Amino acid sequence: MSKRQRLLIIEDEEPIRVGLTDLFVFHGFAVESAADGPTGLNLALTGTFDLILLDLMLPGLDGFAICDRVRVVDRAQPIIMLTALGADEDIIRGLKLGADDYVAKPFSITELVLRVQAVLRRSQGALAGAPSLRLGDLTLDTANLVGCRGAVQIPFTRREVAIIQYLAAHGERPVSRDELLTKVWGYSRGCGIETRTVDIHIAKLRRKLETDPAAPRVLLTVRGVGYRLLVGADGEAS
């Protein structure tokens, strides 16, 4: 029998926390939970979890701080945020801190399970591709999730590296947003899930890859089609 995947739920509202625990136990997960920020952070840093489901508004320590602290020690830990409906600033801030995706409250149970399964499906596959990539004036070590621009080191998350590797492997053409959701996030094609995670991750990557994010030369937008990554020196395709 296969080993059960381990899920950490950090949520202060008891009905939601208990409901999510029951839901994911029913779906075969081993679940631990926390009702406040400090307890959740301690579990996140001392336990081993396949995924963390993280509410943002928590007593004692908010979800932003937890995500930030987890990313300092583990840039590969899958994290999905639970956000208030329409809280765009929270979504952008959370994804910038390194969350893989978000689900807005009130959420569909079916959609939440699909998102958790999708993130896990992609995160458990080994990162494939070249061990290093030259992206403009930055060299990316894909195995260690770090880029170097001269003497400056820039950390990347596993999700960011997966995006870069997929775009690099298809550098001869632009890749659509829907294709990235399917191939990098693991969503089923045509599943109808609405998310801004691709757009926010691309904007975050530009701040790391580009000397001038307002005039990109490495990670390009092909209007109406998708995104294209130019791999090689000075933003020229190699």
Residue 236 — very low, low, confident or very high, per pLDDT cuts 50/70/90? very low
Q: What is the model's pTM?
A: 0.73
Distances (CA, A) of 118 to 38, 52, 111, 182, 238: 28, 14, 10, 9, 32
Contact 94, 63 (CB under 8 A): yes
So where are the chain's domains? 6-123, 132-233
Same fold for the pair 6-123 and 132-233: no
25-46: pLDDT as tens digits: 999 999 999 999 999 999 999 9
| CATH class belonging to 132-233 | mainly alpha
**Domain 6-123 homologous superfamily, CATH:** Response regulator (3.40.50.2300)
77-115: pLDDT as tens digits: 999 999 886 678 888 888 888 898 889 888 889 889 988
148-183: pLDDT as tens digits: 999 999 999 888 999 999 999 998 899 999 899 888
